[in-house]
Structure 1
Amino acid sequence: MDGTLLSIGELAAASGLSPKALRLYDESGLLPPRRVDPFTGYRSYGPDQIDRARRIAALRGLGMGLARIRVVCDLDDDAAAAAELRSWWRQEEADALSRAAVVADLVRDLGKHHSEDIMTTSTTTSTTTPRTAFALHQGLERPTQEDAVLIRELPGGRVLLAVADGFGGADDLSARLLRTLADAVEAAASAPPLAALETAWMAVEALVPTSDAAGSTLSAALLEGDRLHVAHLGDTRISLVRAGRLEHITQDHTQVRSLLEAGRLSPEEAAAHPDRRLLNRALAAGAPTAPDLLVRRLEPGDLVLLSSDGLHAVVDPADLAEALAAEGEDLESLATRLVDLALDAGGPDNVGVALARA
């Protein structure tokens, strides 16, 4: 191959994009290769295309459409390209304000702000406590354990499960966050479940470091009767398995994931984006720390899974779904098997898992 050209793998390494993403941008006309071998189909790129590849990735990461990206990238004047980007962003801000106004109107009309109704109060009273289990492993590559898992039975038949994933040399931050959350939820035993979680979260936020890179994600599930109440922030996850079907209750708080959910990035682009795991909400200095507060109905036999990304970001989704859908396995064995799946996949991260069977 001509030494002045790059293979698709070399361009991928230089730009942070995957070969799959580069093929996608070739097909869309955004980044055609300089040469395609007529016999092998191998693509070759010029070194000067590295900057364009990086710019395309950055603009797609913002949610800009392909047609507008082509306009920005084809402008040979940096000042003109900057003006085009500012113009696009002004409209994005205006659109966000318009959506915020509609959301505020809907919240007011629903009459559910700071109140509890049928979706936050159990309609049936369970006479049995959900079965639970957990597993925690440092993984095969991490020098310390920054994940934490907590399960606590609370007064009134409530059960709290929580998983936190510390980062940035957080030491025992995740464990302290979970203890604080559990103590505060227990102290708010007379409050409706979602209100108890929301109040407890304020105690958690008080522990967030204010001046360094340390922080944590946190997902908590409060089970009461036939309801699952959730407080969630970051990329720890809460999932529900019902009749063999796996449903993700929470959404990872990354910009790439939000754009995927909104249909502004394709699954292929999201999977290949260099910033796909970069959080934009977490319990960390300078980041938004307010949680998602969610409620779901539980049915007898439902399995609730809380996990750190040492599990779900490592294990093949099909393998994870198969393990969770298997019947007849006790929860302790299942928790251990989930950790084993992460270790079998290389175990690059800490792994935390909590399970509850309704």
Structure 2
Amino acid sequence: MSEQHAQGTYVEPGQEYTRDTNYIEDRITRDATDGWPVEAGRYRLVAARACPWANRSVISRRLLGLEDAISLGLPGPTHDARSWTFDLDPDGRDPVLGIERLQEAFFARTPDYPRGITVPAIVDVPSGKVVTNDFPQITLDFATEWTEFHREGAPDLYPEALRGEIDEVNAVVFRDVNNGVYRAGFAGSQKSYERAYRTLFERLDWLSDRLAGQRFLVGDTITEADIRLFTTLARFDAVYHGHFKCNRDKLAEMPVLWAYARDLFQTPGFGDTIDFDQIKKHYYVVHSDINPTGIVPAGPDESGWLTPHGREQLGGRPFGDGTPPAPPRSGEEVPPLAVS
């Protein structure tokens, strides 16, 4: 088997990239409508540091203080065409689920599960079955269904009065930015690449205009909308600018968005979930049809993330009436930034 086949392929020559958004849509709710009740200690969140979609769930879990209620499994940064693997754990097995591949939890739920084995995924520990990998809904449910287990001082990440606006912002950010970088990077034709490229930077310009006069995307506190945008911005210069050819500007060359991203990065619960080494290794190694050499870039210099951002002058209250989360739990820390 060739390395390219082993890693999977991501680009269809001549085709526009279309993300498969068919996920296991079961929800964990207080009323257990889908058969999965909110219950502390029952579920394990499997979320690779490298993945932006998974990173959202890790940030949400941290901000809300759900560490005691929902345990965290961390696959390594690379995977093959079959599955994410727990190669960072002793003996290559998740210490709670006892599995080597996340695929095993999907197969426990649906033998020969035919779709992608994606993170984040929430697994029911007693049965070993995946409950859901519906990443947009996972974080919304953390904010709204798990309130009984939120820490004291947890922020309201999905305030009811702002949900309509948050949903509208999330929709365009997903289409043009979160998924837009992939539509550029996995484009199979020049035309589809250039279309995605233009749309991406038009939306980033729109976001810059929106954030020039307000500290956060919706309202005066951190919400779900900020979490969703941040995980893409955090990967922009390290991965998307070069690897995905999103190179009109670096994030560090877009003053408003760069300051906004630094503001969030320096906020407890955001930057302390980011592992740039794992992020770069994932994209540059796994996407072997885009980067066949497998060489992982040494840069960029990460020290800029810690420089003053000045966004506090815009006002706003990051946690509203709440408080910052405690430092990451033992075993959940990320390495310090590499400074050139």
| TM-score interval, normalised by the smaller of the two chains | under 0.3
- TM-score normalised according to structure 2 size: 0.26
- TM-score normalised according to structure 1 size: 0.25
